[in-house]
């Protein structure tokens, strides 16, 4: 007992309790999650300010006689006449590996009932992105496990690839699939099955989503065993506009910790349309001048400074990376709206999902013509380059020819072959959700397609052929798959093994 | 409070004209107000309201509010006032208030600066830190 008393006494002695100087102001007006404060002559932009009852705010507008602040947390506890003081601190969130496997809110407080998050490092929400000297070009792949993406629109570590499409076209599914694929690779890496594998940790930022959607994503990740490598930041539709506006920045801060410590992180911003809407609300109630579609003038800067924080850092600075997959929801396929064009121009490419394709049963409904990755094949392993080099061209030609083929039935042999090949590629690229395919199996399947093994198979049975082939390879040719995985390229030896395996498989295929 | 640009500009000009030698001049202020009322420009009531607000903020910047838990003797007060005037200029007005809720010590507020040496503040900070 006495030791506890002594401990408390030394603690009290250690505390600084002399006279303090602070800068204060008085709340003149509050409502809609913002407060206007008179005074606060020393406040800095984006500084945290303290209201009574433990409520904090963020000073966003510094005007001649007033300060406009957004409130974090319980907004009803703030009233007119309250004294507000500056803190001299920036808003920060806990970061580190302790956050993996957790669901947190915008300021890093747990929402999953799994107890406190024990971490001693904190990062500010707003940080300047790494400069030119610190960066290097993107060259390592993020294996999404989605064949159409890995083959045609490769994503590299440190890249920013936009996922864009109408509602219910499978945007979130692509993101979740990618997380699941990373978790499987991470697990394989831990077991030593993949040579020199750098684990990729995932951060899923849900902005303005329905709580049911977040719960569903969480359940899927938990079921697939991906949660231990994932942090979910949830700022659902019922959360304040302030929290929705800050959530992506919190995600970026958590991702940056991995990058600064030489690790790789993947952040999914789901979605930035709702983020822009939340920021519009905050700006309008702060009476900032509005521009096009009532968005404030700095809505471009809002997204550009967020996405600029994804980077691949040079070896000298740790060699970490932050990859971003922002999601944008379009209205009736209109990519020329304000926010979509902004984000398209910021990112290094986009995956465009089309409603028509989705309802034709082509899922993931990726539009080959409109999707692009500006990093290109630098982010592919050599084996994929060898088998998928011409797939995008083949598919684009197929789409062109398919439109023509509707008018006439007399087709020359070359055109017919091209159409047949195209139809089969489309079939191969159809993929069930939450079912990422390992890269070595993708290589084997695409090699089979390139070398004409799929051509004799009727179109409606291509998918069955592919699944059986994958099964066969997994069970009977494990060593071949391992060889592709380790060598990361197809040499003569592997190709001859593949040929032998496919001949053997073809003999059993009915 | 929503005010238009004209009102804001005019009231700001009036505030700038209210000073002589860097100090608020009550004579000038009343003559400014009188002439405004006599001329009755557009939105003049809004201008007056905003002018009053700007003046209030200006006065608050030059006023020290000294809260103590109990009455303070004359010598301490005069020393305090002299010190504050040295720091903030001779036009500083002072106001002494007894506030038993402070429990002990003193709290001085000048404009938006606050020096808090009250027992209540120390206890609150202790509570936060523990």
Q: What is the 3-state secondary structure (H, E, C) of chain B?
A: CCCCHHHHHHHHHHHHHCEECCEECHHHHHHHHHHHHHHCCCCHHHHHHHHHHHHHHHHHHCEEEEEECCCCCHHHHHHHHHHHHHHHCCCCEEEEEECHHHCCCEEEEECCEEEECCHHHHHHHHHHHC
pLDDT digits (tens, 9 = 90+) for B111-130: 889 999 888 888 888 887 77
Query: pLDDT tens across B34-72, in order?
Result: 999 999 988 899 999 999 999 999 888 889 999 999 888
Q: Do B121 and A20 touch (CB under 8 A)?
A: yes
Contact A25 B112 (CB under 8 A): yes
The verdict on a CB contact (< 8 Å) between B112 and A29 is no
Query: Cα(A324)–Cα(A450) distance, rounded to whole angstroms?
Result: 32
pLDDT of amino acid A324: 98
Would you state the pLDDT for residue A8?
Answer: 76
Buried (b) or exposed (e) across A472-504, using 16+ Cβ within 10 A? bbeeebeebbebbbebbebeeebeebbeebbee
Of all residues in chain A, the one with the smallest CA distance to B122 is A17
Question: What pLDDT sits at residue A397?
Answer: 85
Helix (H, G, I), strand (E, B) or coil at A375: coil
pLDDT for residue B127: 82
From chain A, which residues contact B within 8 Å (Cβ)? 11-12, 15, 17-25, 29, 38-42, 65, 85, 287
Task: Count interface pairs A-B at CB distance under 8 A.
Answer: 47
Give SS3 for A451: coil
CA separation for the pair A75, A57 (Å, rounded): 9
**Site of tokens 């060889």:** A483
Query: pLDDT value at position B126?
Result: 81
Give the model confidence (pLDDT) of B73-109 as tens digits: 999 999 999 999 998 888 888 999 999 998 888 999 9
Low-confidence ranges of chain A (pLDDT < 50): none
Sign of CA dihedral A69, A74, A75, A77: negative
Q: How far apart are CA A10 and CA A129, in angstroms?
A: 42
**Active-site residue list of A:** 374
Question: What is the pLDDT at residue A1?
Answer: 63
Looking at residue B88, what is its pLDDT? Answer: 87
Pick from A19, A40, A85: CB nearest B117: A19
Q: Which of A90, A102, A95 minimizes the C-alpha distance to A122? A: A95
Q: Out of A17, A29, A39, name the one closest to residue B112 (CB).
A: A39
């Amino acid at each position: 007992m006495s030791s506890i008393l002594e401990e408390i006494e030394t603690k009290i002695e250690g505390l600084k309790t002399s006279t303090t100087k602070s800068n204060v102001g008085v709340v003149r007006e509050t409502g809609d999650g913002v407060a206007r404060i008179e005074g606060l002559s020393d406040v800095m932009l984006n500084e945290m300010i303290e209201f009574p009852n433990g409520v904090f705010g963020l000073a966003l507008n510094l005007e001649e006689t007033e300060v406009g602040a957004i409130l974090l947390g319980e907004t009803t506890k703030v009233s007119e006449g309250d004294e507000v003081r500056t803190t001299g601190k920036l808003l920060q969130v806990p970061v580190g590996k302790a956050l993996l496997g957790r669901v947190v809110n915008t300021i890093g407080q747990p929402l999953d009932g799994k107890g406190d998050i024990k971490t001693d490092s904190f990062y500010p929400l707003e940080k300047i992105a790494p400069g030119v000297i610190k960066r290097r070009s993107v060259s390592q792949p993020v294996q999404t496990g989605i064949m159409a993406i890995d083959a045609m629109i490769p994503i590299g570590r440190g890249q920013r690839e936009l996922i864009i499409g109408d509602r219910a076209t499978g945007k979130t599914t692509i993101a979740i699939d990618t997380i699941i694929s990373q978790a499987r690779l991470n697990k394989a890496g831990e077991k030593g099955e993949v040579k020199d594998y750098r684990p990729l940790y995932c951060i899923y930022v849900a902005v303005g989503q329905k709580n049911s959607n977040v719960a569903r994503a969480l359940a899927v990740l938990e079921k697939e065993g991906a949660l231990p490598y994932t942090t979910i930041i949830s700022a659902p539709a019922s959360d304040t506009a302030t929290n929705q506006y800050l959530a992506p920045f919190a995600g970026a801060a958590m991702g940056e910790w991995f990058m600064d410590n030489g690790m790789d992180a993947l952040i999914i911003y789901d979605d930035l349309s709702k983020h822009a809407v939340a920021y519009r609300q905050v700006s309008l109630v702060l009476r900032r001048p509005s521009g096009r579609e009532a968005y404030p003038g700095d809505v471009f800067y809002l997204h550009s400074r967020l996405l600029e924080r994804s980077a691949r850092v040079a070896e000298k600075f740790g060699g970490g990376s932050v990859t971003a997959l922002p999601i944008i929801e379009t209205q009736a396929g209109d990519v020329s709206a304000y926010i979509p064009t902004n984000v398209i121009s910021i990112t290094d490419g986009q995956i465009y999902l089309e409603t028509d394709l989705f309802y034709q049963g082509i899922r993931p409904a990726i539009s080959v013509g409109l999707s692009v990755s500006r990093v290109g094949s630098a982010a592919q392993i050599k084996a994929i380059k060898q088998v998928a080099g011409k797939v995008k061209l083949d598919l684009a030609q197929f789409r062109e020819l398919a439109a023509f083929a509707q008018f006439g039935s007399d087709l020359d042999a070359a055109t017919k072959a091209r159409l047949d090949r195209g139809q089969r590629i489309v079939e191969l690229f159809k993929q069930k959700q939450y079912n990422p395919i390992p890269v070595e199996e993708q290589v084997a399947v695409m090699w089979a397609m390139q070398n004409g093994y799929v051509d004799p198979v009727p179109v409606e049975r291509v998918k069955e052929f592919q699944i059986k082939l994958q099964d066969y390879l997994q069970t009977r040719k494990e060593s071949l798959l391992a060889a592709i995985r380790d060598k990361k390229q197809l040499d003569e030896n592997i190709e001859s093994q593949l040929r032998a395996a496919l001949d053997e498989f073809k003999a059993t295929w009915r | 409070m929503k005010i238009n640009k004209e009102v804001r500009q005019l009231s700001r000009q009036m505030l700038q004209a209210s000073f002589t030698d860097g100090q608020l001049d009550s004579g000038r202020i009343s003559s400014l107000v009188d002439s405004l009322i006599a001329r009755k420009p557009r939105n003049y009531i809004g201008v007056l309201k905003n002018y009053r607000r700007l003046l209030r903020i200006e006065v608050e910047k030059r006023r020290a509010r000294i809260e103590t838990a109990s009455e303070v003797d004359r010598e301490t007060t005069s020393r305090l006032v002299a010190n504050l005037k040295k720091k903030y200029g001779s036009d500083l007005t002072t106001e002494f208030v007894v506030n038993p809720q402070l429990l002990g010590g003193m709290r001085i507020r000048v404009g938006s600066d606050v020096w808090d040496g009250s027992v209540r503040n120390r206890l609150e900070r202790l509570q936060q830190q523990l």
